[in-house]
Chain A
């Protein structure tokens, strides 16, 4: 589904990702872990199409197409979803209007009829239950005045509405209590299918107790320095990142 080869990304001349390689197949769940500032969010943003970053080298192929050539909205309509680490507050834009426009623009792109008002409302009700989000949130402006946890739940709600093929969840677990964490995991698991893939970016092993990954990668200094199965996450939790650093032969301290 997604193949990233020799990716090098920089911002204002500062290299953030280098020699980055990743292969995600249909139906797989990949976890990307690593300390702060190593480029996890940068990776997610580059896949989603944020033009703030410069892709200096490498290729990203998605469903056989050159992803880097696509505008962010085309990527979204082709099935890529980014759950933001810091969801943006947009006062004055109603959740319902925004989501309906997003869904119908995607449907139009795919050659489908737009959802009617009633169909849309029904979908909203259905997905609200799935992620246990309250109506008072979906009636408001996008993320405006939401607590940290509400913002994260809202990302999962949007994901459930949009039904992406490849979801990238950037630290959707951070700042959540255990109940909210379960809600997030539940949302992801319900949407899991042999056709869909998920990249879970996380700091802690905790979320991976609920979303069982097929692969765990450790990102350090812009590169994947170690990959393994779900046991790697447990090992990381026990030993910290220090041993990875030694193993990778990286000189800088964490």
Chain B
């Protein structure tokens, strides 16, 4: 475990740690990736980490997180094994191709990379770097800009594994692919998973990304996903976060879209001590559609921060952001939503809406919409509300015999439904609907084996010794 030495800055400690573990981190990776890491080191050295004076980070203080001592798993401590031994996610109505990451490392039963009949490749990023170095280096590091304030450079220094998906031209992956990201460690753990998804023209994919923690131990996940959507491809991307109160997540998702591609992302934060989701959605070519939906249901002293930027760099694209949150107890939420319309992006349609319901006087929501428009023929709108449940509606329901609790739950559920209804896969929508309902009734436990499987078995308490796997 790293000692905290007060007089050394967090960035210097990270750089030192990188240097002393360089050989392990680098492995046998292609030169281009190592060069990318070196550039990341420079950026971290020059820019440091975001603090409370950094734009978009004003309400989310990561300094305490960066100062804490952590373990780092520089070597993959898991051996090939059957994940179902410890974690069953036999999502029955939802027929998925499911893969697992344990503490940032890809876990596999048979092979680290699987090629489906239709040519789709799914597996470990580190293995993909070995087998398809050119394909991976062509995209890795090109979609997530390291210079933007954040922790992308830090991830680039340290990442070793993560999920890799490649969907060939015109391939429609009919089963959703589900990634289950599990963190499980006795000691506080910091991890930097890196995911790369490449979709060739006219391909279609549904990805369900679940973040879990199996114990209440401390962890800090700094993940980066890079997603490339070629011409006319289609991605339905779900991020489901159901983590323990002692877990911290900075989750950067970077999307780059080519002409007439269609992206829908849905971020559902059901639990998580400290969560910052960063979405950067770049519309490079005309006629793209990007829809970003979000729902966060947080209580106690949880903190969730959603930072979105949709960058219209080409004409005739449409984007929409709808983020809704319900905050109980002393929970806090931040929404930073930006719409950037560049000079050439004429005929842009861009909408943004953030709505919050505060259930107590101590809960706080901070909404910061930003529009930056350099084109003249555009249609943009944004709105943000922070309020309570409608007292007229509460009275209406109670006057029909519903008790206060049921009435509140019904209204909260209805509020959340606007986002849930947008989930296009029916079994997934039903599952999430059920989860949201459970969550609002206070019945959803992080010990449920899998967020997508919450109504099947008794909650199990997991306490797994990773070294035994």
* B380 within 8 Å of A (CB atoms): no
Instruction: Name B384-408 residues within 8 Å CB distance of A.
Output: 390-393, 395-404, 406-407
Instruction: Decide: B393 and A90 in contact? CB cutoff 8 A.
Output: yes
**Roughly how many angstroms separate A52 CA and B403 CA in the complex, as a whole number?**
18
Instruction: Decide: B398 and A76 in contact? CB cutoff 8 A.
Output: yes
* B415 within 8 Å of A (CB atoms): yes
**Roughly how many angstroms separate A230 CA and B407 CA in the complex, as a whole number?**
39
**Roughly how many angstroms separate A156 CA and B123 CA in the complex, as a whole number?**
59
The one of B396, B415, B416 in contact with A88, judged by C-beta atoms closer than 8 angstroms, is: B396
**Roughly how many angstroms separate A122 CA and B398 CA in the complex, as a whole number?**
24
Range class of the B interface residue count: 20 to 34
* B371 within 8 Å of A (CB atoms): no
Instruction: Decide: B399 and A98 in contact? CB cutoff 8 A.
Output: no
The one of A84, A101, A105 in contact with B396, judged by C-beta atoms closer than 8 angstroms, is: A84
Closest residue of A by beta carbon distance from B391:
A52
* B373 within 8 Å of A (CB atoms): no
- In the complex with contacts A71-B404, A90-B393, A91-B418, A76-B411 CB distance below 8 A: no
Instruction: Decide: A71 and B398 in contact? CB cutoff 8 A.
Output: yes
Instruction: Name A64-117 residues within 8 Å CB distance of B.
Output: 71-73, 75-77, 81-82, 84, 87-88, 90-93, 97-99, 101-103, 105-106, 109
* A158 within 8 Å of B (CB atoms): yes
* A49 within 8 Å of B (CB atoms): yes
Closest residue of B by beta carbon distance from A90:
B393
The one of B390, B403, B413, B414 in contact with A105, judged by C-beta atoms closer than 8 angstroms, is: B403
**Roughly how many angstroms separate A12 CA and B261 CA in the complex, as a whole number?**
57
* B62 within 8 Å of A (CB atoms): no
Instruction: Decide: A76 and B399 in contact? CB cutoff 8 A.
Output: yes
**Roughly how many angstroms separate A221 CA and B27 CA in the complex, as a whole number?**
87
Choose among A84, A97, A102 the residue with the greatest number of B CB atoms under 10 Å from its CB: A102
Instruction: Decide: A92 and B396 in contact? CB cutoff 8 A.
Output: no
Instruction: Decide: B414 and A77 in contact? CB cutoff 8 A.
Output: no
**Roughly how many angstroms separate A84 CA and B396 CA in the complex, as a whole number?**
8
The one of B401, B407, B414 in contact with A91, judged by C-beta atoms closer than 8 angstroms, is: B414
Nearest-neighbour CB distance to chain A for B395, whole angstroms, equals 6
* A50 within 8 Å of B (CB atoms): yes
**Roughly how many angstroms separate A102 CA and B400 CA in the complex, as a whole number?**
6
* B417 within 8 Å of A (CB atoms): yes
Task: Say what secondary structure dominates the interface of chain B.
Answer: helix
Instruction: Decide: A105 and B395 in contact? CB cutoff 8 A.
Output: no
Instruction: Decide: A101 and B399 in contact? CB cutoff 8 A.
Output: no
Instruction: Decide: B418 and A92 in contact? CB cutoff 8 A.
Output: yes
For A81, list chain B residues within 8 Å (CB): 399-400
For B418, list chain A residues within 8 Å (CB): 91-92
For B415, list chain A residues within 8 Å (CB): 92
* B14 within 8 Å of A (CB atoms): no
Instruction: Decide: B401 and A105 in contact? CB cutoff 8 A.
Output: yes
- In the complex with contacts A84-B396, A87-B396, A92-B402 CB distance below 8 A: no
Nearest-neighbour CB distance to chain B for A21, whole angstroms, equals 24
**Roughly how many angstroms separate A195 CA and B410 CA in the complex, as a whole number?**
32
For B413, list chain A residues within 8 Å (CB): 92-93
- In the complex with contacts A76-B399, A76-B400, A82-B399, A101-B414 CB distance below 8 A: no
The one of B391, B393, B406, B416 in contact with A101, judged by C-beta atoms closer than 8 angstroms, is: B406
Choose among B393, B395, B400, B407 the residue with the greatest number of A CB atoms under 10 Å from its CB: B400
* A48 within 8 Å of B (CB atoms): yes
* A162 within 8 Å of B (CB atoms): yes
For B396, list chain A residues within 8 Å (CB): 84, 87-88, 90, 142
Instruction: Decide: A72 and B393 in contact? CB cutoff 8 A.
Output: no
Instruction: Decide: B401 and A93 in contact? CB cutoff 8 A.
Output: no
- In the complex with contacts A91-B418, A92-B418, A73-B411 CB distance below 8 A: no
For A102, list chain B residues within 8 Å (CB): 397, 400-402
**Roughly how many angstroms separate A50 CA and B395 CA in the complex, as a whole number?**
7
* A26 within 8 Å of B (CB atoms): no
* A15 within 8 Å of B (CB atoms): no
The one of A48, A73, A162 in contact with B404, judged by C-beta atoms closer than 8 angstroms, is: A73
**Roughly how many angstroms separate A87 CA and B414 CA in the complex, as a whole number?**
17
- Contact sample, A vs B, 15 pairs, CB 8 Å cutoff: A50-B399, A73-B402, A73-B404, A73-B407, A82-B399, A90-B396, A91-B418, A92-B417, A93-B411, A98-B397, A99-B400, A101-B410, A102-B400, A102-B401, A102-B402
Those 9 A-B pairs whose CB atoms lie nearest each other, nearest first: A92-B414, A76-B401, A92-B417, A102-B400, A88-B396, A72-B398, A106-B401, A102-B401, A93-B414
